[in-house]
Amino acid sequence: MNALLTAMTAAAREAGALLKDRPAPAPGRTMETLRSTFASVDEPVAALLRERLDGLVPDAVWADELDTELPETGAVWVVDAIDGAVQYLRGMPYWCVSLALVRDREPVAAVLHSAVLGETYTAAPGEGAHRNGVPVVPAGEGELAAAIVATSQPPFPSGQPEAVAAAGRGLSAAVREVAAVRNLGPVSWQVADVAAGRLDAFWEYGRDDANLLAGALIAREAGAVVTDMAGRPWRAGAEGFLVSSGALHGELLRVLA
């Protein structure tokens, strides 16, 4: 597994450097131009990652980045060349390269790389979670009123109206209970920052497997608690996600319910 993580890390860093060194094109002011501009940036980097990762796991197939459907069995690459593409196209630093190898619907290797920060999160089952090779752990105990938390919404929210409605209710409830609520860009990176103690918690309603699988593994390996909104262990396909250091998890489930 160490050899696999090393190869994944090298690929993520190569992709991140390519994106960082290339001026981002203007995203345009219509959905059509936004989509075409995104494709012009994303497709070459995604092709590079596929070239670097293909063959590392001979039986692995590739999931669709935007409509991730995982088979019940087998190995799958779940890759987002630019997690946080909207921010990237606007010249903001809140984006990363996200790589996850999933087997039988469970993440078994994860790499997140921020070329802007020069940081890389890695994790594998039983190996712990690391940032730039140094182990990370969640924040310690504290009051909910002092917590710094983050949230986001699933991609294409018009297809998940229940999640959109729940997101509004959850945000309204949480802002009354915590010190601050933020949305800091890529979902995967925010989950990893909970694992490393930079944030106290992150939640999201709806289904968002592609953006959650890598971060979920990093968080679990760091010792964070990762559940759905009912408090059950989070699994791909769940209709909601909550990660925290653990001490605040029960209170957050109550607030967000």
How are beta strands 180-182 and 225-227 bridged, if at all? unpaired
88-93 own/partner pairs: CB under 8 Å, 24+ apart = 88/19, 88/24, 88/41, 89/24, 89/25, 89/26, 89/27, 89/34, 89/37, 89/38, 89/41, 90/24, 90/27, 91/24, 92/185, 93/117
Please list the pLDDT of the chain residue by residue as tens digits (257 residues): 789 999 999 999 999 999 998 877 877 788 888 888 888 888 999 999 999 999 899 999 998 765 567 888 999 999 999 999 989 999 999 999 999 999 999 999 999 999 999 999 999 999 999 999 999 999 988 999 999 999 998 777 778 889 889 999 999 999 999 999 999 999 999 999 999 999 999 999 999 999 999 999 999 999 999 999 999 999 999 999 999 998 899 999 999 98
Q: What is the pTM of this model?
A: 0.94
The terminus-to-terminus CA distance of the chain in angstroms comes to 38
Q: What is the pLDDT of residue 98?
A: 98
The C-alpha atoms of residue 243 and residue 257 are separated, in whole angstroms, by 15
